[in-house]
Each structure stands twice: as structure tokens, then as C-alpha cells.
Amino acid sequence: MIDRMQVGVVYYPEQWDSARWEADIKQMREAGVTVVRLAEFAWCRMEPAPEKYTFDWLDEVIGLFAQNDIAVILCTPTNTPPRWLTDQHPDVLPINASGMTTHAGVRGHRCFNSISLKYYAASIINQMAIRYGSHPGVIGWQIDNEFWMLDCHCPRCNTTFRQWLIQKYETVSKLNEAWGTIVWSGEYSDWQQVTVPYGGSRFQNPSYLLDFARFQWDMMELFLTEQINTIRQYSKQQFITHNFHTYPPRLNLHQLGRALDVASFDYYPNTDPHKQTTGPYSGALSLDVTRGIKRKNFYIMEQLSGAPGCWFPSWRAPYPGFIRAFTWQAIAKGADKVLHFRWRSATIGAEQFWQGLIDPSNVPGRRFLEFSQLAQEVNRLSPKLIDTTFQHQVAILMSHENMEAMRIQYQSDGFDYYENIKDYHRILTKLGVGCDVIEVGAPLDQYKLVIVPSLYVVNEETANRLEQFAQAGGTVLLTFRSGVKMENNHHIETMLPGYLQKSSGIYVEEYDAIGQSTQAIRDEDGETYTASIWCDIVSLQGAEAIAWYQDEFYSGTPAITCNRVGKGKVYYVATHPDEAYLRKLITRLAKEQHIKYDANLPDGVQIIERFNESNKYLFIMNLSRVDVTVPLESPGYSLLSAEKREKKIELAPYELDILEIPLSSG
Ligand code: GAL
Ligand code: ZN
């Protein structure tokens, strides 16, 4: 289905005088746009009264796009139910834990379990699919917009949750056991007593709260698949996606991703100059996380076009080159389509200060010119790049269940599951080591090194798979807070790291949750580093220590250990070391596994390698505000400037290059 890379925009024809459509669309084409997204918030224009449909305007717009060779992605409009629906069927509206209703007027005012919503969603989606499901101008669909966890407390969610629990546990006594409700006299004697979590405190039973999250994930998956099934009745060729946003989400991306053909992300890299040492790296992680959802390339449904605002005070103006550079970063990481949000800044409604590519004056400025340059480049290079693939040898394993479980219960002051993933990922990026961020449980065959931060909720099977991976010659890196919980979120009754004890060759005698305090660690070379957040006090059970704590009553005991397992190794990082130590450790692991890394990448530069049968394509991006010189390992041909590059490459702020390097030359 995917034959070319595309760059485009998000457009809201319903928010502009129809007299402007044609000129807008022509201008898009001239700028190099080949794809647009339409209709995500336009329910009231497509169905102004119950089951009265008005699609003429949309027909006309799609027709105009088709005439201009611009492909359309249509959205199901369920993020914004129209007034008649919320008036006549208020059960559509979600209710939060304090009993407050989310009313119409903004967006996201829909409960995923509402029967009325599902009924009217099915009707309009059915109509849309009949009309556009085989329309040559429409290439795909986006379901709803930017899902997030509603924690809805409406009556329907209560009954649905209860049914879900009955299915899972069958009897109240099994439920009591699974949740450990005897604590604080919380035992249920009747299913009717079981509700979604009220209670006015976040410190509710952790087994209950984790099940409530799982329930919501299942219901969102159902909401998604119901919409997909409706579209699929009339649409056989078009792709179906959803635009995830703002990581880390409380959603289960991997679970929701299963129903999609392709995952999408809304990418708004931070324009703040003070965030420039971290922002581009957390952006890199977001993109790797998105590629990991389906373990294949993805789309960006909304990409930064100017300064975001409205929902918060406006961000800083994007520095010259910023918009183009971060779109290229997304493409380099696997985004085969990137749609900029939005064509023109709104002149009406609450989002007037979230900048589009063109200002309300409609006078094209700096941002628009930068965008057109980018669009032309992507159109030109797409044939070269579209079939190239990644050959990553490193994976970070991520688990939404773990993330949620550790969100439910504090670990230590400053502990954050996703931030820890960021720290490991940033080191890899700084070393120029490409990596995949995939679900715990995904196949590991292609990897040599697997980094598994805080595998907190774990079953025996997962533990065994990691052990087998090491047996076969792989390296596994585990960290503190692993093997703590069983799937029902009960604490395990063995020494930690529970099921991972055997492969790690250690056990945790006790721990010191040092939080924001620091602890010195010293490695085999006698060098000293700092660590924070957590210190497991470890007993060696076959593993050897490679670094030791220097402070506290456990000074001299192991902080980092390594265990030989079959042909491979399992490292256990019992604390959270600083960046310098992590860099040293990851470099050691890369060397041991013959994974290529680049110790000389200047700060702020990211590289990405992609391959086809004959060439390597090396993306070199300066995502910083200073000039940099990047040494080259082998000469290459610059696709952007059509010149040869020999030993080094000089990049101005937010400048980039893409080199074609024949595989024969390394
Ligand atoms: C996204 C959303 C868009 C738009 C944009 C700017 O989160 O999907 O519809 O609102 O943010 O706020
Ligand atoms: Zn609800």
C-alpha cells in the first residue's frame, strides 16, 4: 500500500469560507503537499440532525483535492459529538471521579462505553464508509483523535466494569482474593458493591487500580475495533490509523496498536532553547516508541508548524530550520507520512494561538517557506528512501502495565519508569546506536542487546524468555525494581528479583530508596560516578560485581553485576547511575557484542542508518543551535546537496544531510 513518502497538512475546510478552498488547495499543491487530513471534528456538519447526513461539502472538498493530486485521510468524528447528540443522549458525556460531567464545547466529550455514542458513531461511520470507502481520492482513515484515559465514572462504565470483572473472576470471592480486599476491611459480598474507583484518595488497592486500567484499555480497544469493523465493510484498500500523542501515555499503545494497520503520532518537539539538551532526545524516543507499536514504520498525523499555544502560554518561536529538521528526524526514524498541524492558524475558536504554517493574514512567511523546501525535498528523495529498512541490534523493552503499576504505587522520590527509559535511550542515541523500543514479549531474534528497565510486574514466562535470549548469546540488562510483582499486582513472596533471580545470578537482600540523594559508585577501573533514585543491596549468587557502592552502611557491596548465562550475559544495574557511567556501561556492552557505535558524535547530533540491498543511507542531523563538525567513517554522496562528502561534514544549527554510502565501502 505504501509506495511513497508524503508530506502534507491538516486542513479544516469547515472552518473557512468555501470561497477560499480552491486557492488554499492550489497553494498546498504548489508547496509540495501530497496528503491532507480532514473531518476529525466536523460531525455537526456531516450530520446536522439525527441520521440526516450532509456530505456534499465534503464531496466537493475531496474532489478538489483529487483534482490537485492530493490524497485525503478522513477521520471518524467521534472526538466531538454534536449538540443534538449530547442534548438528546447525555449518556454520551464522560463523568470524572468527582462526579463532574465533561460537557460539549471543547472536545473529547465522549465516553468510550456509551451505548448512544456507539450507536450514532456506527451510523455516521457507516455512511462515511459507504461514501468514501472506495473513493480513489481517500487513502486512509484516522479513528477518533488522540485517545487518552478518561477514568470515566458514568453509570454505564460502572456496569461495564462489573461485567468485565465477572468475566475475569467469576465469583466475588475470587475477586476478593485477587485484589486482597481484606486489607482495610474492603471485602465485597455482592457484585453490586463493586464500582469504578471512587473513594476520594489515590491510595486505593493497587490490584484494583491496575485492573481498572486494564479494563479501560480493553474498552478502548473495543471502541477502536468496532469503528474499524464498520469501515472495513466498505473499505478494503485504505489504511486505518490512530494518532497517539504526549508520551508517556497511560494508554496501552501496544494493545491498541494491534487493531491498527499503522500507528501514528502527533509530534510537537519543544521549541524552548532551554530544552535543547533533552528535547531532541526525548523526541527520538517518542519516534522509536511509535515505530515499536507495530514494529514497523508509522505516520505523523500532526507535526509542529509553528509555536504551540492556547492550552498554555505560547511556546517560543521555532528557530530557523527547526520545523524542517524535526520533520526529517521523524522521517529518518520511520515516519512515511508527515502531516503538519495545521495549514493556516485558526481565526476562530479556542485554538487561535496554536500556529499553523501560515498566519491568519494568509501572507506566507518563514515557516511556510521552510515547509515548502522540506516538502519538495521529501518528494524528490522518496523513491530512494521508501524501501530502506533499519537493522537495529539493540532493543529497549517497555511495558505499559509496568508503567501503570508504578504510577499507582510510589517507588522512591524522583523515580519515573519512563524517565529511566529515556536515560538509557539517550545514551544509545548519543552513541549513534539505533534501537527499537518494543513491547515486553515481542520477538527478540534480531537483537544482540536487550535493555529492560524495571521489569516490575513479570511472569515466569517472560523471565524464561529473557533467560533463553541470554543462553543463546544475547546480553540482557536488567535494572532495580524488577521481578517485584505478580500479575495481580501482589508482591512476590520470594527474594527479589523474583523470577529473574536465576538469570541475574543475584538476589536483593534489602533496598535503600535514596530518591534525590546520591550514592557514589566505583567501577573496576577505580573511577567514581554518582547514582541516585534507588539502591538495591545485592548478594552475589553466581554473578560477579563490576561496580560497588561507596557510601552508606552497604559501602563496598555490588552496585552493578554481570552473570554469565549460557553463551550470553545478564547485567543487573541495582541503582540509577549518572549519564557518564551509563555511557561507559553501554559502550562496554556494545563492544562485547560487536555493536557499532560512534564515540565522537558531537552533542546535539543524531544519526540514523537505513539500508537497502546496495546502499546505506546515513541521516546526520544537527538538532542543536550551534555549528557542528561531524567526522565521517566513510565517504558518501549527499542526497540533499548532490555533492560528495569525504572526511567530515559541517552542519549549521538545525541543518542536516542524508548520505548515500555504497555497502561495499562499509
Ligand atoms: C492536538 C489535536 C489537534 C489540535 C492540536 C493543537 O492534540 O489533535 O486537534 O488541537 O493538538 O492543540
Ligand atoms: Zn463512561
- Each residue's pLDDT tens digit, 395-422: 999 999 999 999 999 999 999 999 999 9
Q: Which domain holds residue 632?
A: 605-662
The H or E element containing residue 476 is: strand 475-479
For residue 101, report the distance from its CA to the centre of ligand 2, in Å.
10
Over residues 476-499, the pLDDT tens digits come to: 999 999 999 999 999 999 999 999
12 Cβ closer than 6 Å to some ligand 1 atom: no
Contact 78, 60 (CB under 8 A): no
597 Cβ closer than 6 Å to some ligand 1 atom: no
In the numeric block, the cell 499543491 is attached to: 29
Query: Does residue 39 belong to any structural domain of this protein?
Result: yes
144 Cβ closer than 6 Å to some ligand 1 atom: no
pLDDT of residue 199: 79
SS3 category, 624: coil
pLDDT of residue 223: 98
**Statement: residue 501 has pLDDT above 60:** yes
SS3 category, 368: helix
- 327 and 418 part of one domain: no
Q: Which amino acid is at 569?
A: K
Please give all residues whose CB falls under 5 A of ion ligand 2, grouped by chain where several chains appear. 111, 113, 152, 154, 157
CATH number of the domain within which 302 lies: 3.20.20.80
CATH number of the domain within which 630 lies: 2.60.40.1180
pLDDT of residue 626: 96
- Starting from the CA of residue 309, give the closest ligand: 1
The H or E element containing residue 540 is: strand 528-540
User: What distance in Å separates the CA atoms of residue 126 and residue 78, rounded to the nearest whole number?
Assistant: 13
Contact 241, 257 (CB under 8 A): no
- 404 and 473 part of one domain: yes
- Starting from the CA of residue 268, give the closest ligand: 1
- In Å, how far are 273, 600, 632, 642 from 629, measured between CA atoms? 21, 10, 9, 19
- Which cell numbers hold the place of 347? 481565526
The residue nearest atom 7 of ligand 1, judged by CA position, is: 146
- Secondary structure of 51-108 in the HEC alphabet? CECCCHHHHHHHHHHHHCCCEEEEECCCCCCCHHHHHHCHHHCCECCCCCECCCCCCC
Q: Which atom of ligand 1 is nearest to the CA of 301?
A: 8
Q: Could you tell me how far CA 36 lies from the centroid of its own chain? A: 22
Contact 404, 210 (CB under 8 A): yes
Give 73: exposed, middle or buried? Use CB within 10 Å, 0-12, 13-18, 19+.
buried
Last residue of a domain, one of 319, 352, 385: 385
**Statement: residue 588 has pLDDT above 80:** yes
- 145 and 87 part of one domain: yes
DSSP state of 234: T
- Which cell numbers hold the place of 322? 527547526
Put residue 467 in one of left, alpha, beta given phi > 0 → left and psi -120 to 50 → alpha: alpha
- Which residues face 9 on adjacent strands? 36, 340
Query: Does residue 287 belong to any structural domain of this protein?
Result: yes
302 Cβ closer than 6 Å to some ligand 1 atom: yes
In the numeric block, the cell 519543544 is attached to: 270
Q: Could you tell me how far CA 416 lies from the centroid of its own chain? A: 16
User: How many domains are there within the chain?
Assistant: 3
- 448 and 491 part of one domain: yes
Q: Which atom of ligand 1 is nearest to the CA of 245?
A: 7
- 82 and 62 part of one domain: yes
Contact 159, 166 (CB under 8 A): no
For residue 666, report the distance from its CA to the centre of ligand 1, in Å.
43
**Statement: residue 78 has pLDDT above 60:** yes
pLDDT of residue 1: 42
**Statement: residue 19 has pLDDT above 80:** yes
- 509 and 615 part of one domain: no
* Residue 232 CB neighbours (<10 A): 15
In the numeric block, the cell 486500567 is attached to: 213
- 507 and 623 part of one domain: no
245 Cβ closer than 6 Å to some ligand 1 atom: yes
- 242 and 367 part of one domain: yes
In the numeric block, the cell 483534482 is attached to: 67
146 Cβ closer than 6 Å to some ligand 1 atom: yes
Percent of the chain past pLDDT 90, that is, above it, reads 98
Give 418: exposed, middle or buried? Use CB within 10 Å, 0-12, 13-18, 19+.
buried
Produce one character per residue of 246-255: b if its CB has 16 or more CB atoms within 10 Å, e if not.
ebbbebbbbb
37 Cβ closer than 6 Å to some ligand 1 atom: no
Q: What is the mean pLDDT of residues 319-325?
A: 98
User: What distance in Å separates the CA atoms of residue 186 and residue 204, rounded to the nearest whole number?
Assistant: 10
Last residue of a domain, one of 358, 385, 412: 385
Which of 78, 351, 357 has the most ligand 1 atoms within 8 A of CB, as the residue to mutate?
A: 351
- Starting from the CA of residue 96, give the closest ligand: 2
For residue 299, report the distance from its CA to the centre of ligand 2, in Å.
30
Query: Does residue 82 belong to any structural domain of this protein?
Result: yes
pLDDT of residue 665: 65
Over residues 111-133, the pLDDT tens digits come to: 999 999 999 999 999 999 999 99
- Which residues face 617 on adjacent strands? 610, 660
**Statement: residue 598 has pLDDT above 80:** yes
- Which cell numbers hold the place of 622? 544537527
341 Cβ closer than 6 Å to some ligand 1 atom: yes
Contact 11, 39 (CB under 8 A): no
DSSP state of 254: H
For residue 206, report the distance from its CA to the centre of ligand 1, in Å.
33
Q: What is the mean pLDDT of residues 432-450?
A: 98
Which of 266, 300, 304, 311 has the most ligand 1 atoms within 8 A of CB, as the residue to mutate?
A: 266
Contact 605, 620 (CB under 8 A): yes
Contact 522, 530 (CB under 8 A): no
User: What distance in Å separates the CA atoms of residue 168 and residue 465, rounded to the nearest whole number?
Assistant: 26
In the numeric block, the cell 546502499 is attached to: 615
For residue 168, report the distance from its CA to the centre of ligand 1, in Å.
36
For residue 117, report the distance from its CA to the centre of ligand 2, in Å.
10
The H or E element containing residue 475 is: strand 475-479
Query: Does residue 44 belong to any structural domain of this protein?
Result: yes
- 282 and 308 part of one domain: yes
24 Cβ closer than 6 Å to some ligand 1 atom: no
- Starting from the CA of residue 314, give the closest ligand: 1
370 Cβ closer than 6 Å to some ligand 1 atom: no
- In Å, how far are 149, 284, 426, 658 from 583, measured between CA atoms? 35, 17, 9, 26
pLDDT of residue 461: 97
DSSP state of 263: E
* Residue 459 CB neighbours (<10 A): 13
pLDDT of residue 110: 97
CATH number of the domain within which 472 lies: 3.40.50.880
Q: What is the mean pLDDT of residues 251-259?
A: 98
Q: Kindly write down the DSSP assignment for every residue of 10-57, as one continuous string.
A: E--GGGS-GGGHHHHHHHHHHHT--EEEE-TT-HHHH-SBTTB---HH
What positions carry a catalytic annotation?
146, 302
The residue nearest atom 9 of ligand 1, judged by CA position, is: 145
The H or E element containing residue 262 is: strand 262-267
User: What distance in Å separates the CA atoms of residue 470 and residue 168, rounded to the nearest whole number?
Assistant: 34
Produce one character per residue of 548-560: b if its CB has 16 or more CB atoms within 10 Å, e if not.
bbbbeebeebbbb
Last residue of a domain, one of 365, 385, 405: 385
- 633 and 579 part of one domain: no
Query: Does residue 372 belong to any structural domain of this protein?
Result: yes
SS3 category, 421: helix
Mean pLDDT of the chain: 97
Put residue 309 in one of left, alpha, beta given phi > 0 → left and psi -120 to 50 → alpha: beta
Query: Does residue 192 belong to any structural domain of this protein?
Result: no
In the numeric block, the cell 577501573 is attached to: 525
pLDDT of residue 424: 98
Q: What is the mean pLDDT of residues 417-428?
A: 98
For residue 42, report the distance from its CA to the centre of ligand 1, in Å.
14
Over residues 224-248, the pLDDT tens digits come to: 999 999 999 999 999 999 999 999 9
Query: Does residue 177 belong to any structural domain of this protein?
Result: no
User: What distance in Å separates the CA atoms of residue 12 and residue 14, rounded to the nearest whole number?
Assistant: 5
- Which cell numbers hold the place of 333? 526514524
- In Å, how far are 84, 99, 172 from 199, measured between CA atoms? 33, 12, 20
For residue 119, report the distance from its CA to the centre of ligand 1, in Å.
26
- 630 and 586 part of one domain: no
Query: Does residue 166 belong to any structural domain of this protein?
Result: no
pLDDT of residue 491: 98
Q: What is the mean pLDDT of residues 132-159?
A: 97
SS3 category, 517: strand
Per-residue confidence band for 201, with pLDDT thresholds at 50, 70 and 90: confident
Rg (CA), the chain: 26
* Residue 52 CB neighbours (<10 A): 9
pLDDT of residue 664: 85
- 416 and 555 part of one domain: yes
354 Cβ closer than 6 Å to some ligand 1 atom: yes
- Which cell numbers hold the place of 395? 532493543
In the numeric block, the cell 491496575 is attached to: 210
